Amino acid sequence: MPPVTEDRRLLNFASQIEGGALAQARQTASMPFIHPHVALMPDAHLGKGSAVGTVIPTLGVVIPAAVGVDIGCGMIGVRTEFTEDDVDARIAATGVGLGALRLEIERAIPLSPGHYNADLDSWPFTAAKIAELEKRARREHVDLAHSPKWRQQLGSLGGGNHFIELCLDETDRVWLFLHSGSRGVGNKIAQHHIQVAQRLCGQRHIKLPNRDLAYLTEGTPEFDQYIRELNWAQRFAYLNRAEMMDRFGAVFARWMGAEDHRETERVNCHHNYTQRERHGGKDVWLTRKGAVDAHAGVRAMIPGSMGTHSYVVEGKGNAEGLCSAPHGAGRRFSRTEAKRRFTQADLRARMRGIEYRDSAEFVDEIPDAYKEISTVMADARDLVTVLHELRQIVNVKGT
């Protein structure tokens, strides 16, 4: 949809949005360092400090709470040479169904908050990723004393709306797909710098419309340290997804009786992060809080909710949208409200035909708790081109 100009410095691409999220976006847009405007994505909804689905360009400052506590959270998808017919033939030949594959995935990748890897030697591709992160931490003077088990966190999923899925696209080609971020170590980094920003703004008697809009100013030691640690956490999140995908691929190949998973395409993208970009004729720090990079030709993944379709997209470079696009369906109801409204039986009905762990603990992730992904994608038609539409046949979630 064409953006709605909410005021001079706020453009809204969402046809369905709650008043609270709009109010948060207006607060963010009122900050004096915004340039050229804030863009509200089609999946925008109420968040902490600023709405999830807000793209925030800032001159000379960064707002740590706007980046959020799951630094670098995002998606990774891999297209394979396998097809639905190959999967069906394998089940027919072995009698081993998708339930067994789901259990193998759950054994290979630690799920849920606080669950880490018991050792670092189970997979041959893990050591190189850890070595890269260790080297970067030394070079950039990243303080990881708060997270002595960060290495064990690499290759773990987390909980909430994080997931792992086996999907089929519009040609019935098999995709491996998952959603996760920087885990506990990213959270610790974020929480520290949010507190630093709030303390410094308080010391300088800066009046904020919301304390979670506290910012760090370019050229200060605190800003420099945040950017170094932010970049490290973003890289951790990227490699965390890559590690899980490597394990997922190995497990899927073994289940298929193949030597490898026959990867033909890989997309790995953040949707909670900050980086330097040029918008409105100026260099800004662009924070995508629940949004993906949609510069012309850039590929990204936009997931639906549990039990609904997801999309592989290519950016159109829309300047009004700050070369960004939505990161998913966006919540309609809080987790508490979803549990009040829906039951495990409702979830079973919505997940019919999909292999998943049947548990009441996932009721708050029911598709009905989210916006219709078809509406979100219709609103995003000026931001991205859809390349592939995915439907899941296996879903794995942490609690």
- Catalytic residue list: 327
Strand partners, 91: none
Comparing C-alpha atoms, which of 231, 241, 98 is closest to residue 164? 241
Angle at 243 between CA 239 and CA 245, to 5 degrees: 115
Within 10 Å of residue 150's Cβ, how many Cβ atoms?
A: 23
Comparing C-alpha atoms, which of 398, 345, 395, 313 is closest to residue 41? 313
Do 244 and 178 contact (CB within 8 A), yes or no?
yes
What single letter denotes the amino acid at residue 332? R
- In Å, what is the CA distance from 204 to each residue of 40, 198, 199? 30, 10, 9
Alpha-carbon distance of 375 to 226, in angstroms, equals 36
Angle at 177 between CA 172 and CA 181, to 5 degrees: 165
